[in-house]
């Protein structure tokens, strides 16, 4: 079981605008689904709110210290990183960190691999960004082209932080 960060970033490192993703690429959504189905997805409360319903065929782990979320199949709410990491021995799947910014920051030291989709835009009015050094200590080991002029790069930890 690995802990994998998965993210789509624009040319400026942006990942969001006013609580949502500021672009729509069906190729990226399809790729995200292919990578994460059958695994656990860890997200913050605001990311959860953008989904409208649980991601199907995945364990949805929502991190929130205060939010009350209606009980639903395949959804669990945990208060902090230690609670999420305590699940690791019981999971027979990978743990994908899917955002937002605070959740990525929280798990920076635990992420073993990154899957980064490069969005070929510099979006204006963005207000949510990846930490500047999130790939520090990682090296690319593979990449692939998606439709719609998107490039995905796979990174693995090359040295300890």
pLDDT digits (tens, 9 = 90+) for 79-129: 999 999 999 899 999 999 999 999 999 999 999 999 999 999 999 999 999
- Among the listed residues 137, 63, 64, 66, the one whose alpha carbon sits nearest the alpha carbon of residue 97: 63
pLDDT of 161 over the 50 cut: no
CA distance 83 to 95: 13
The average pLDDT across 60-71 equals 85
Domains and CATH numbers, the chain: 3-157 (3.40.430.10)
């Amino acid at each position: 079981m690995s802990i994998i960060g998965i993210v789509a970033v624009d040319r400026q490192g942006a990942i969001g605008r006013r609580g949502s993703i500021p672009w729509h690429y069906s190729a990226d959504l399809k790729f995200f689904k292919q990578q994460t189905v059958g695994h656990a997805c860890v997200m913050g409360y605001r990311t959860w709110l953008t989904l409208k319903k649980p991601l199907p065929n995945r364990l949805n782990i929502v991190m929130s210290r205060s939010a009350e979320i209606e009980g639903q199949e395949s959804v669990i709410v945990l208060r902090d990183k230690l609670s999420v990491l305590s699940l690791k021995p019981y999971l027979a799947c990978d743990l994908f960190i899917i955002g937002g910014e605070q959740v990525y920051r929280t798990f920076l030291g635990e992420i073993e691999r990154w899957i980064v989709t490069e969005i070929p835009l510099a979006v204006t009015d963005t207000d949510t960004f990846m930490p500047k050094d999130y790939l520090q200590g990682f090296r690319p080991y593979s990449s692939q082209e998606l439709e719609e002029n998107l490039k995905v790069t796979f990174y693995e930890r090359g040295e300890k932080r």
